[in-house]
Amino acid sequence: MGVMAFLPLSCLGLLIASQGKNCGSAGVVDNGQIDYSNETLFGEKAVITCNEGYILVGQREINCGDQGWMDSLPVCEVLKCDPPADITDGKFSPHKESYEYLEVVQYSCVNDYTLNGSKSLSCSTDGKFTPDPPTCTRVECTDPKIENGTWKEGARPPYRYKSAVTLQCNSGYIMKGASIQTCDINSLWSPGLPQCTPVKCTDPKIKNGDRKEGSQPPYRYSSTVTLECHSGYIMKGASTQKCDIYGLWSPGLPECKPVECKDLRIENGDWVEGSRPPYRY
């Protein structure tokens, strides 16, 4: 108070008062922020930013003057989107003239058509709906026919999107690929129809033995062979083998074991000379 009393010029007093002016809070911006980077003092400014999805209408900066904040606050208006695109064989809802930021529309397809793409779209920051609208496709897969195989269970025609069938090979054929097939969006069976290839048994090779008679190679399901052992060998197992549906010889290849004679003993007598055990052929 003592200092002010000695100031002779009123204009100087005004200047000091202006420079010391503190504008205080500029108020509230709905859906936005006011950034007073420094102090809310005379000559300083505040910067207004809007939240995501809102557009600033008015001045971005306001200045603190001797009468307080010299500019009026801008407003943050919600971002709007025009309606998204119409699609053939489908529709979206809700229908409106314009949509606000983050509003969502849902697409659907008419009967028998399948939605390909995203079902829901939302109004985004660029004023457009994202992602792109889906399309509606008529999905129909053809009969899942395979050579030497048949439909086993599952869906029946018409095969629509996600219809699933299980296939099987005729006996004597082995499946290469997946037995379960699903009709995909492109009207194709997924992962792709399997193949039925004839069962194949390997050459019925046995140690110290041979094929005697029976089917000729290639050995398919139900081919039959008879095996025999070389002389001096005796068979353990079945001589007749059949190629089964798994491509294996059934009941299982035999073995040829060396013939072995028992120790020879006679009452009141003994070995004099000759071979020693084991006694082979």
38 binds ligand NAG (CB under 6 A): yes
User: Residue 84 Cβ, how far from ligand NAG at the closest point, in Å?
Assistant: 15
44 vs 103, which CB is nearer to ligand NAG?
Answer: 44
41 vs 180, which CB is nearer to ligand NAG?
Answer: 41
Q: Which residue from 55, 23, 50, 52 is spatially nearest to 36, judged by alpha carbons?
A: 23
Considering only residues 70 to 129 of the shown chain, the ones binding ligand NAG according to CB under 6 A are 116-117
From the list 56, 185, 235, 238, which residue makes contact with ligand NAG (rule: CB under 6 A)?
A: 185
Distance CA 1, CA 162 (A): 88
146 vs 165, which CB is nearer to ligand NAG?
Answer: 146
User: Residue 104 Cβ, how far from ligand NAG at the closest point, in Å?
Assistant: 20
User: Residue 48 Cβ, how far from ligand NAG at the closest point, in Å?
Assistant: 12
From the list 49, 125, 135, 208, which residue makes contact with ligand NAG (rule: CB under 6 A)?
A: 135
Which residue, chain included where needed, has tokens 């919600």?
Answer: 78
185 vs 235, which CB is nearer to ligand NAG?
Answer: 185
Whether residue 150 contacts residue 168, with contact meaning beta carbons closer than 8 Å, is answered with yes
Classify residue 251 as left (phi > 0), alpha (psi -120 to 50) or beta. Answer: alpha
Q: How many residues bind ligand NAG (CB under 6 A)?
A: 13
45 binds ligand NAG (CB under 6 A): yes
Whether residue 54 contacts residue 31, with contact meaning beta carbons closer than 8 Å, is answered with yes
Distance CA 138, CA 140 (A): 7
Considering only the stretches 38-46, 73-81, 204-212, 235-243, report the one whose residues sit in contact with ligand NAG under the rule CB under 6 A: 38-46
User: Residue 199 Cβ, how far from ligand NAG at the closest point, in Å?
Assistant: 11
Distance CA 237, CA 231 (A): 16
From the list 9, 20, 37, 231, which residue makes contact with ligand NAG (rule: CB under 6 A)?
A: 37
- Spacing of C-alpha 238 from chain mean position: 51
Compute the radius of gyration of the chain from its Cα atoms.
46
Distance CA 124, CA 127 (A): 6
21 binds ligand NAG (CB under 6 A): no
List beta partners, residue 195.
176
248 binds ligand NAG (CB under 6 A): no
Q: Say which residues have a Cβ less than 8 Å from residue 16's Cβ, sequence separation at least 6.
A: none
Q: Name the residues that contact ligand NAG, by CB under 6 A.
A: 37-38, 44-45, 116-117, 135, 137, 147-148, 170, 185-186
